[in-house]
A and B are shown apart, each in its own frame.
Chain A
Amino acid sequence: MTRKPTTSHDAPSLEDQIYDALRVRGWIIPQTEEDVMRTEVDIEHNPIPLPPELEDPSELLRKLFPVTREVEPEPSHVEERRAQRGEATATQPQSLLECFRARTGWRPSVIASTLEVTPIFLSDLSRYRHVVPVPAQEALADRAAQRLPNVQRTDVVQVFAHASQPRVAAFRRAPYPETEPMTYAEMINHSGMTAEAQHFWHSLAEKEAE
């Protein structure tokens, strides 16, 4: 939207005055450099704290790099058995990224680059842990224990020991649309890792096949 500047020679129309009043009140999102500068000063003086729901961009990263197959709903008899055993379906296992962030206090991108993977690959390893071959689990556990402060090998092993469940963001009424890679190989291919890194993680699947 291009904004025509009003000069002192042009009487502002009633409509423009209303726009300015709503803009100054904050009811219209700042879209010009002048508005942004004024808004930044306001925010600096009266900041509204960021809610926890917007702290972590991992779920958004997943939406930016989606894979296509929809998850099949869990059969009802499985849900019934779970209910009989008294398992809380709302309990979500901690993901690798959550675990590493809690231990290191680092951003996902820093954690991922230290491990020579991408955030989306780390996220997928947690979500689809049941398709991750054991040699890949062990390689990640070794690497994390060696390179990340306060992370033990057993931390990673425990995350892989949990069954994966759909995640629901705290503020959403429904889960994010679930997607699932068909294979571990597809997970690697969607990861955005370098060719060399992809080759390494593929080779671990071949190692298991042997």
Chain B
Amino acid sequence: MEPSHSTRNAAAVRAASDAVLLTLMAQRHTDAATAQMAWEEFYYRHRQYLYNVVCKVRIVNASDRYDLVQETFLRIFEKAHTFQEEDSTDSAQGRIRVLAWMGRIAQRLFQDMLRKYGCLRLLGDMGAAIQDDAQTQPQVVESDEPPSPALQAVLQAIESLSAREQEIIRVTWQYYTPGQQQQRLPHDVVAQLARDFKTNPENIRKIRERALHKIKAMLLSSPHSPMEETQP
């Protein structure tokens, strides 16, 4: 039997690069069937990576983890036309670029979820002994390659904070852009944190400042302090 047009099309989609799949999705208004196939192929290729990434964020409830993965793939379909492909003959590099783009979409959706549900539901109460959905929490193994001594010192400083301070630092830095000066946490995020911890926004800011002072003090006393490295 001669392969049909749609069978040939499916084979071409399976062989296409990630960037080409996004282009096909972007053409959904002119060729919906191929756009569907392209999206499905994209889903099968990257579902494992994205799920693993989401697990590392340590979202407590399984349903929230699944929602973040699924919503990201839905958003990718909607936003496929915004992916900027750079000239490159290296398909592996192109794939990495697509995954980084997907990460930015997932991060924005995670920020939206934090606004909507609050950190206690998503990240759990770090001070509580039993978490709501602890049985479904997948086993996340730390990286084989440990962080540098300097980063390790920062992590230890963060982990020495109280549960509430750690939560506030984790949420605050979800909205942080490295290298930018004078960053402010959005008001609605501060308000949500205040609701989560049954306090007011001003107190949330004070807790955050106090946590930063503690981290700084710990780093200055650490032999691996990254701050020491920068001293003249």
Listed in ascending order, the chain A residues whose CB lies under 8 Å from chain B are: 1-6, 11-12, 14-22, 24-33, 35-43, 45-51, 53-54, 57, 60-61, 63-65, 107-110, 112-114, 116, 118-120, 171-173, 191-194, 197
- Residues B178 and A46 in contact, CB atoms below 8 Å apart: no
Q: Is the CB of B36 within 8 A of A61?
A: yes
A31 to B175, CA, bound (A): 13
Can you give 20 A-B contacts (C-beta < 8 A)? Answer: A16-B179, A18-B215, A19-B176, A21-B151, A27-B56, A27-B170, A28-B173, A30-B53, A41-B144, A49-B138, A54-B66, A57-B39, A64-B77, A113-B4, A113-B9, A171-B63, A172-B63, A193-B33, A194-B5, A197-B6
A3 to B100, CA, bound (A): 12
Q: Does B139 contact A (CB under 8 A)?
A: yes
A47-B48, A50-B48 given as contacts; is B40 within 8 A of A57 (CB)?
A: yes
Distance in Å from the Cβ of A27 to the closest Cβ of chain B? 6
Asked if B58 and A24 make an inter-chain contact with CB atoms under 8 angstroms apart, the answer reads no
Interface residues of B in 55-92 (CB under 8 A from A): 55-58, 62-63, 66, 69-70, 73-74, 77
Note all chain A residues with C-beta closer than 8 A to B154. 17-18, 20-21
Bound-state CA distance A139–B54 (Å) is: 43
Please report whether the interface of chain B is mostly helix, strand, loop or mixed according to DSSP.
helix
Given contacts A17-B226, A64-B77, A172-B63, contact A48 B39 (CB under 8 A): no
Shortest CB-to-CB span from A109 to chain B, Å, is 5
Which residue from B69, B93, B174, B178 sits with its C-beta under 8 Å from A54?
B69
Residues of B within 8 A of A (CB): 4-7, 9-10, 13, 32-33, 35-37, 39-41, 43-44, 47-49, 51-58, 62-63, 66, 69-70, 73-74, 77, 93, 96-97, 99-100, 103-104, 106-107, 110, 138-141, 143-145, 147, 150-151, 154-155, 158, 169-170, 173-174, 176-180, 183, 212, 215-216, 219, 226-227, 230
Identity of the chain A residue whose Cβ is nearest the Cβ of B35 in the assembled complex: A192
Contact partners of A192 in chain B: CB under 8 A: 32-33, 35-36
Q: Which of A16, A31, A61 has a CB less than 8 Å from the CB of B103?
A: A31
A35 and B139 contact, CB distance less than 8 A: no
Closest A residue to B5 using CB positions = A194
B39, B53, B145, B155: which has the most chain A beta carbons within 10 Å? B53
In the complex, how many angstroms separate the beta carbon of A197 from the nearest chain B beta carbon? Answer: 8
Q: Cβ of B103 and Cβ of A30 under 8 Å apart?
A: yes
State in angstroms the CA–CA spacing of A173 and B191 once bound together: 27
- Evaluate contact between B139 and A48: CB separation under 8 angstroms: yes
A60 touching B32, Cβ below 8 Å: no
Take A31-B100, A32-B100 as given contacts and tell me if A194 and B6 are in contact as well, using a CB distance cutoff of 8 Å: yes
Provide the bound-state CA to CA distance between A32 and B99, in Å. 9
Inter-subunit contact A21/B155 (CB<8 Å): yes
Complex: how many Å from CA A31 to CA B98? Answer: 10
Task: Determine if A4 and B10 form an interchain contact, defined as CB atoms under 8 angstroms apart.
Answer: no
CB distance from A5 to the nearest CB of B (A): 8
Distance between Cα atoms of A192 and B36 in the complex (Å): 8
Contact across chains for A26 and B57 when beta carbons are under 8 A apart: yes
Residues of A within 8 A of B147 (CB): 21, 24-25
Which residues from B are CB-within-8-Å of A31? 100, 103-104, 107
Q: How far is the CB of B110 from chain A (nearest CB, A)?
A: 6
A65–B74 touching, CB < 8 Å: no
Indicate whether A51 sits within 8 Å of B66 (C-beta atoms), given known contacts A110-B10, A120-B36, A192-B33.
Answer: yes
Give min CB distance, B148 to chain A, whole Å: 9
Q: Which B residues are CB-close (under 8 A) to A42?
A: 143-145
Tell whether, in the assembled complex, residue A109 and residue B51 are in contact, meaning their CB atoms are under 8 Å apart.
Answer: no
Q: Which residue of B lies closest to A14 (CB)?
A: B216
Q: Does A63 lie within 8 Å of B49, measured CB to CB?
A: no
CB-CB under 8 A from A110, the residues of chain B are 10
Q: For A22, what are the chain B residues with a Cβ–Cβ distance below 8 Å?
A: 158, 170, 173
